[in-house]
Chain A
Amino acid sequence: MSFIPGQPVTAVVQRIEICKLRQCDNLILGFSIGGGIDQDPGQNPFSEDKTDKGIYVTRVSKGGPAEAAGLMIGDKIMQVNGWDMTMVTHDQARKRLTKKNEDVVRLLVTRKSLEDAVRNAMV
């Protein structure tokens, strides 16, 4: 999932809709993110290309809304509610996901198995 500067990024994505859960005055989604353009991409265990500075799902809590919606660990988040997530800082990503006035977040995530499935289907 590396990018070539100047060329549009193409990926096979899955739409995931997560309803936020209200838990004592907090709206939580039930997963953790890692990555960002201000972080060290070499330490990301989920990325295939170690220069990829995108936002990755590092943990999905059991029984949470994210797991129920089908989010899997290691997914790369491409868009959140229409906002791009491939070139954001870690803090910007966190803010996009935790807006207090939104109850539902619609994510576009990609993972390796999606690409493989599409390729196998085309053969």
Chain B
Amino acid sequence: MFHICLLMFSPQNYPLYIRSVPCQNELKFHYTVHTSLDVVEEKVSAVGKSLADQRELYLGLLYPTEDYKVYGYVTNSKVKFVIVVDSSNTSLRDNEIRSMFRKLHNSFTDVMCNPFYNPGDPIQSKAFNGIVSGMMVQTVCVF
């Protein structure tokens, strides 16, 4: 069983959505993801400088730690997605992560389209939850 953790942040960097499977050691995930924001911020500000790169939302592997790999993604409205997986999980390659982010972004767009959702509030959408759960189960249980 591998760990996977998914987080989304508002443009002000507070969490909008946190989900990690399995639940133990959640705090450590939180710290890891929070520290990864340093790299996200740096990358986002670097993108701003060169207009040509602006289309690429996927930030790639943010930084490797001994135990986890942290991947980042930034939407145009500067909402950040971060996925943390175990370093030992070799089956999730760049492409898989990329498509996971794309899927997430799509369902996040749906959340934003909901007129009852106030941007900046924590996401509590059931549909979104369902999609995330599906994605996680898929990635965790393949092995």
Q: Do A and B come from one complex?
A: no
Residues of A whose CB lies within 8 Å of any CB of B are none
Residues of B whose CB lies within 8 Å of any CB of A are none
